[in-house]
Amino acid sequence: MPYTSSFFNSTHPGQTSEQSLIDDLVIEQIGIYGLDVLYMPRRHLNLDKLLHESTKNAFEMALPMPMYLKSFSGYDNSMELLTKFGVRSSDEITLVMSRSQFTSYYGPYLKSYYNELNGDEPTDKLNPLDGEIATRPKEGDLIYFPFDDGIFEIKYVMFDSPFFQLGRGYVFELQCEKFEYSGETFDTGYDGIDEQQVRPDYYRLEFSIKGDGLGTFEALEEVEIYDITSEQNLANELKDPLATEERIDIVVDDIFQLYNDSGFISRFDKVTGRVLDWNKPDGKLIVNDLSNLDPDSEDENKDVTKNKFDVVLVVGLVSGAQYVTVKSDQMEAPFSDNDVIQKEFDAIKIVDVADDSPFGFV
């Protein structure tokens, strides 16, 4: 039977030396003409197994990587758009990185990182459906671009450009777009990256404080939020957090029952957040980076205006401050008309008590 020539066939095993030569040249070119960026793998904190999407993501590490900037003449599709949410940048860049460097140096580390989070052995096989991939950069991961102190999100990873020279691929081409913050948690250890979560006006809860409380919150400290709607919890007196070296153990019987994206109730004994602003004289506390949220849902009286975070106990993990809240509202972002739309809807809505949910989880 006829076959292609083994002396000229680029996919023949005898070409491995030439393939290694091209790979070495690629690494050398990236080392000479490239730049050092920071690669941040995405971690899913609240993964929906049905949709394979997460309402809460975290970026807990930033790995230095050499990459070549293919968009050397400027940003791709560079334009500024004025939207109802403010000025939006649509800058895009294309980065090229060595495939062999990623699989040799970073792949094993990412594999052990994901397995450690899952409580598995470092060498166990990862599940791609859980968003855990160690063989290549994945869509949704972030790149810190040092030239403009910006963060870009990987939108697509091309693995076939150039198209299989000598029967093999040597690079990953990352098509990236300017990252838009939407409630992610950053804890990479790099101040220029971690401050991303305090820049934008994204879903901030504004609490109204009841009474004097104890202590004072520190800026950007982490807080724990407990549901204390039961009268027995409201009757508990707060103790002075400075009276003991250890933080007070708070006995809370109530459990947050929050809906997830699929419409099912999840139970949480507490919710964490981060202090953005604390105005003690006015009794106002603004918290963002909430670990769990809850879309508007009806209570037993078919009322959708009540918030499950109205009556809570907020405890500072650094300062030890403790305050009880009586009301919580979402802080309005610039150019947002959500509050106006909600008030107009509340004025005209008609609720029929007989219209119960057929699914039984309202």
Judge whether 30 and 97 are in contact, CB under 8 Å: yes
Residue 30 CA to chain centroid, in angstroms?
30
CA angle 250, 186, 269 (to 5 degrees): 25
53: tokens are 């999407």
Output the CA–CA distances (angstroms, integers) from residue 229 to 2, 207, 233, 305, 358, in the order listed. 81, 15, 7, 16, 28
Please choose, from the candidates 236, 273, 272, 274, the residue with its C-alpha nearest in 3D space to the C-alpha of residue 253. 236
Instruction: Compute the average pLDDT of residues 204-220.
Output: 86
Q: What is the 3-state secondary structure (H, E, C) of 38-86?
A: EEECCEECCEECCCCEECCEEECCCEEEEEEECCCCCCECCCEEEECCE
3-state secondary structure of 259: strand
Instruction: Compute the average pLDDT of residues 144-166.
Output: 87
Residue 156: predicted pLDDT: 93
**Per-residue model confidence as pLDDT tens digits over 97-113:** 999 999 999 999 999 99
CA angle 306, 275, 234 (to 5 degrees): 50
Q: Is it the case that residue 127 has pLDDT exceeding 60?
A: yes
Percent of the chain residues topping a pLDDT of 70: 72
Q: How many Å apart are CA 233 and CA 250, to the nearest integer?
A: 10
Please choose, from the candidates 218, 223, 182, 213, the residue with its C-alpha nearest in 3D space to the C-alpha of residue 199. 182
**Per-residue model confidence as pLDDT tens digits over 217-260:** 998 889 999 988 764 444 444 444 443 434 444 455 567 777 65
Judge whether 255 and 269 are in contact, CB under 8 Å: yes
**Per-residue model confidence as pLDDT tens digits over 38-72:** 999 998 887 777 777 787 888 999 999 999 998 77
Residue 285: predicted pLDDT: 92
3-state secondary structure of 248: coil
Element (H, E) at 173: strand 171-178
